[in-house]
Amino acid sequence: MRNLLLTLSYDGSGYHGWQIQENAPTVQEAFQAALYRATGLREDLKACSRTDTGVHAREFCVSLKTESRIPPQRLAAALNHYLPPDIAVKSCRPVPEDFHARYSCKGKEYCYEIWNHPVRDPFRQGRALHYWYPIDEALLDRAAKAYLGRHDFTSFCTLDKREKGDLCRTVSAAGVERRGDLVVFTVAADGFLYNMVRIMVGTLLHVQQGKLAPEDLPSVLAAQNRRAAGPTAPAWGLYLNRVFYP
């Protein structure tokens, strides 16, 4: 029995997130089908996270314990042969027996991309939020610094049954930069709550619209009230960018 860590990337446009659902296509379903075709085995997968409908991943990690003796590089190639074009295995390597893609994770980095131009880009449809009014990226970068450090992020969380107990998280990096007509918010933390990044983005856009000032964000955090923050930005601009392990 080997424990393997596989790193995937995928375009989430055609999927209802990672986790298997009864009546909707998911990335996990497609991956497990490819794995069965490659190995003939139905393996128990441990994923680093659950992405929502329409969310993308540049680096998504899965661990699995398998009796298959296919070498890691050949297994990755076989999976890519059977996977649909919008999902790819970037790497596959052995890890210690006690490694778990979720519980061994020390943090993640997300990016949210905004196409900031009066005219929509058809090639970014479903892959970036189209925001046609001018964005002051320096203003939003200054506002984003309020997210840094350890805070209770209740104001930035859609509460449901998955979010219980301690809602504090430590944000190690948060910033906004412009790359031509693309404005990108990048945030890294030891963990994220449900819709946390998308609400962070919606709140930054409230700053852009003058509904909040950068100086207001500490009080939004302190309120520990979802109604104090901005709206939840659409899913299609969000990317799981990196996953951190020891």
Catalytically active residues, by annotation = 52
Token code pair at residue 146:
């309020």
CB atoms within 10 A of CB 191: 16
Measured CA to CA in angstroms, residue 11 lies from 55, 100, 151 at distances of 8, 24, 31
Cβ(6)–Cβ(92) under 8 Å? yes
Q: How far apart are CA 126 and CA 189, in angstroms?
A: 25
Q: How far apart are CA 132 and CA 139, in angstroms?
A: 17
Could you tell me which residues come within 8 angstroms of residue 215 by beta carbon, excluding any fewer than 6 positions away? none
Taking alpha carbons only, the member of 65, 2, 57 closest to residue 26 is 57
Asked if 130 and 124 count as a contact pair (C-beta separation under 8 A), the reply is: yes
The C-alpha atoms of residue 183 and residue 121 are separated, in whole angstroms, by: 14
Query: What whole-number distance in Å separates Cα of residue 146 and Cα of residue 137?
Result: 15
Q: Tokens for 29?
A: 């379903």
